[in-house]
Amino acid sequence: MSLATPDTNADILVAGAGAAGLSAALALVQAGFSVVCVGCVDSRANGRTVALFEASLRFYKSLGLWRNFRGRTAPLEKITMIDATEARLPVPSVTFAASEIGLAAFGENIENNVLVEGLAEIAAQTPGLVLHEGMLSDISFDADAVRATLADGHRVEAKLVVAADGRGSLARTKAGISARSWTYPQVALTALLTHEKPHRHVSTEFHTRSGPCTLVPLRALEGRPNRSSLVWLMSAEDADHRRALSPAALAREIERQVDSCVGKIEVEGTCGYFPMAGMSVARLFRPRIALIGEAAHVFPPLAAQGLNLSLRDSAALVEALEDARGLGQDIGSAQTLAAYAKARRGDISLRTNGIDILNRSLLSDLFPVDFLRGAGLFAFSMIGPLRRALMREGVLTHGTLPRLMQARAHRSYARHN
């Protein structure tokens, strides 16, 4: 692994070495920028997985990275939503099939630790990319450069910092960009499950009064042909109760919640418990800094939008920086980064507000809210063009995708580089 020297100069400093930060660093170095990526690589298994939709898969394929993860994922061919809120107005179940929009699958599901560990291994072997597994202790912004000090005393100077260091971003704070945070009365339980019946590549989402309980297909392992990941939103009290259960007792509660749709369940390894919160920022940039990932937006894990949104941030940022370089412009200037913010503002706002409304609608038992939610699901069930439009929006987004996410982009990008 490359190590930063006490004084390292680079085009770009990426703060954060999670999936978002590592992905951004790899995309930027492939675009021809010198990059230092700083952060702790956390590859601990905690039951969390990532459903990467079509646009995100195109991103990784464009960079030539996806071949490193083949055989370690499970395709998501259908998504079924089942109402379990006991609403006074019956709400129909809805199934979305990727084949309806010309795709073999909506995307692929992979364990978060497998993705992060794989990206870190690639980053450590990539010329032009320095991966420093430590933490930032300070960062300052000048007119022409960013200067950062790491916890071990190393210093890095760059033209631009890409803040991918999470909701408590030090880089964002030092840049004086304000953030608005809020909480939900929910905790997400995440777990990996082995079960009796096959999932048939169907992600099944039960909508309850405490939030969704979702089973997402996982790759088979030797002796465990039927596996799924679980994301179950519940009250803090219920989370405390289930945290105290034995794995066998917890498995029985999961079986009851999902109506035994996959038969007998066994919990694999360690579960995760994560309080639910949301966050939005006043702006996506200042001179010398661009925010991506959870440094820019946080919302509950509904509709698997989190990392997919972060990768669209990265793809759009790479495009803005490439365009600026081609015109001889400063990659850290306000003009360059304003183009990035303009490209991302609408998508981020739509996802943040949409997920917030959907989550709050499940928590409310008011009849008008139930009626609107039920009417919406009925419309999606019965009106084919509307259902297909929703599916396309979920996996490819509205408007023009960044170049790295356009169809067959991986071939043209590989030739260009």
**Contact indicator for 187, 173 with CB cutoff of 8 Å:** no
Q: How far is CA 319 from the centre of its chain?
A: 20
Classify residue 75: in a domain, yes or no. Answer: yes
How many C-beta neighbours within 10 Å does residue 363 have? 17
95 C-beta neighbours (distance < 10 Å), count:
14
pTM for this predicted structure: 0.88
Query: Range of 96's domain?
Result: 7-181+278-416
The burial of 407, by beta-carbon neighbours within 10 Å (0-12 exposed, 13-18 middle, 19 or more buried), is given as: exposed
- Per the structure, how many domains does the chain have? 1
DSSP output for 260-285: TTT-SEEEEEEEEEEEEEEEEES-SE
Q: Examine residue 245 and state whether it is found in any structural domain, yes or no.
A: no
54-62 and 384-396 helices, crossing angle to 10°: 30
pLDDT tens-digit map of 267-326: 999 999 999 999 999 999 999 999 999 999 998 776 567 799 999 999 999 999 999 999
The fraction of the chain above a pLDDT of 70, given in percent, is 84
234-248, 319-333, 383-397: the lowest-pLDDT one: 383-397
pLDDT (tens digit, 9 = 90+) per residue, 35-61? Answer: 999 999 987 778 889 999 999 999 999
Instruction: Kindly state whether residue 189 falls inside one of the protein's structural domains.
Output: no
172 lies in a domain? yes
Task: Say what the pLDDT of residue 413 is.
Answer: 46
Assigned domain for 38 exists? yes
Contact 343, 320 (CB under 8 A): yes
pLDDT at 353: 75
Counts for the chain of helices (H) and strands (E), in that order: 11, 19
Report pLDDT digits (tens) over 358-390: 666 665 555 555 556 655 665 556 555 655 665
| Assigned domain for 261 exists | no
The predicted structure's pLDDT at residue 332: 97
Task: List, for residues 248-264, the tens digit of each pLDDT value.
Answer: 999 999 999 999 999 99
Q: What is the per-residue pLDDT for 414?
A: 43
Q: Are 254 and 265 in contact (CB under 8 A)?
A: yes
At residue 211, the pLDDT reads: 84
At residue 137, the 3 state secondary structure works out as strand
237: in domain: no
Confidence of residue 163 (pLDDT cuts 50, 70, 90): very high
Whether the CB-CB separation of 217 and 74 falls below 8 Å is answered with yes
| Burial of 126 per CB tally in 10 Å (0-12, 13-18, 19+) | middle
Residue 157 is classified by DSSP as: E
The answer to whether residue 81 scores a pLDDT higher than 60 is yes
Identify whether 331 is part of a domain: yes
Supply the CATH number for residue 16's domain.
3.50.50.60
Look at residue 377 in the predicted model and tell me its pLDDT. 62
Q: Is the pLDDT of residue 95 over 70?
A: yes
Contact between residue 345 and residue 284 where contact means Cβ atoms under 8 Å apart: yes
One-letter identity of residue 106: F
